[in-house]
Structure 1
């Protein structure tokens, strides 16, 4: 279930448009099982995930002098925090197509913040929090640690192009051994507003995606990518 935390930064407008770019296999998995995959935070390519900036780390080391478990808590917790990443943008992103899809194949789910919040209400086992990522200079800027999720809501400025919003879940109290991630229940009809197929995909691939959606019993609007538009001279 989605839990609102007023200390976590979040766009105020529920109509804020968000995107998820993914390959066909992950998309079919989402529709077939109606579960959203959330990756273990320490499995992301960015080695700084769930860590602190240098000024904050120095502060934590001082606190850990009399309480060594304080620092160990943050190190081990990365294995128990899972994340689903979304991209905030009013329009499609050429960069996101390039990064998250391959061989001119893949899809983009268009949704809104409000839809995502509503879709998460289906899961009653885990608590989900949604937050907008802050991009800072890890050598100079401070990451507050009053909120336990803050280490997962800050990234280096090099990643600003991601414009990321995250669904975050901490499974510590469930005593689970998580391998690569966790799947949570979602209401697909609430989650997905439109589907965009890779702008450079072949016609057979577009037809395959549309047929799959139909056969699985969904009727999402499938849009032609704006990046596929004909050139006007």
Structure 2
């Protein structure tokens, strides 16, 4: 279930477009299970994921001088938070194709902020929050810690190209252990507005994706990315 948090920043326009780039196996798993996979926060490639900037860490260290459990709680909290990452962009991104797909056989899901919010409502086991990531200098800038989600909504400026919007859930109250992550129930038809096929893919691949989607009972608009369309001169 999606819950609004007034402290978490989101684009003002609910029709703001977001993207998810993934390979065919992960896409088919999404359609077949009707569940969205969310990665455990400390399993991301960025080792700073869910941690604090230096100014914030120094303040927390002072506060925990007589209460070591305070600092340990923040360290272990990363194991209880799961994240689904989406790319905020009006248009598809060549860089995202390069980073998140391989062998010219990936695809991109186009959605919107409002679609994400509504698509999360079938999930009743875990509360979901959506927020836009802030990119800061971890040596100089401060990350607030009055909200437990804030460490997961800040990243280093080096990752600014990701323009990330995140679906976040915290399972600490559910008394479960996350291994690699968590799968949550979603409304697939609300989640997906359109599908784009990898710009370097062959026509047979596009036809395969169309056939598989139809076989699974869905009727999304599917098109090939136009990043590799023929030049006009």
Aligned counterparts of 1:78 and 1:213: Cα–Cα separation in 2: 35
Deviation at 1:66?
A: 1.8
Map of 1:95 onto structure 2:
95
Q: Is the 8 A contact 2:64 2:71 kept in 1?
A: yes
Aligned counterparts of 1:70 and 1:42: Cα–Cα separation in 2: 19
Deviation at 1:42?
A: 0.3
Aligned counterparts of 2:128 and 2:226: Cα–Cα separation in 1: 32
TM-score, length of structure 2 as denominator length: 0.99
The yes-or-no answer on 1:6 pairing with 2:33 is no
Tell me which stretches of 4 or more aligned residues in structure 1 moved more than 2 Å.
none
User: Matched residue pairs, number?
Assistant: 233
Deviation at 1:228?
A: 2.4
Q: Is the 8 A contact 1:107 1:197 kept in 2?
A: yes
Aligned counterparts of 1:144 and 1:205: Cα–Cα separation in 2: 46
Helix, strand or coil at the partner of 1:168: strand
Aligned counterparts of 1:224 and 1:41: Cα–Cα separation in 2: 32
Deviation at 1:82?
A: 0.2
Map of 1:174 onto structure 2:
174
The yes-or-no answer on 1:200 pairing with 2:214 is no
Q: Deviations for 1:172-218, whole angstroms, at most 9, x for unmatched residues? A: 11111211010000000000000000000111111111100000000
The yes-or-no answer on 1:228 pairing with 2:228 is yes
Aligned counterparts of 1:178 and 1:148: Cα–Cα separation in 2: 18
Map of 1:129 onto structure 2:
129
Map of 1:115 onto structure 2:
115
Aligned counterparts of 1:224 and 1:186: Cα–Cα separation in 2: 25
Aligned counterparts of 2:177 and 2:11: Cα–Cα separation in 1: 33
Helix, strand or coil at the partner of 2:25: helix
Q: Is the 8 A contact 1:37 1:84 kept in 2?
A: yes
Structure 1 alignment gaps of length 5 or more: none
Q: Is the 8 A contact 2:206 2:224 kept in 1?
A: no
Map of 2:72 onto structure 1:
72
**What is the CA RMSD across the aligned residues, in angstroms?**
0.6
Helix, strand or coil at the partner of 1:91: coil
Aligned counterparts of 1:224 and 1:48: Cα–Cα separation in 2: 35
Map of 2:41 onto structure 1:
41
TM-score, length of structure 1 as denominator length: 0.99
Q: Is the 8 A contact 1:92 1:226 kept in 2?
A: no
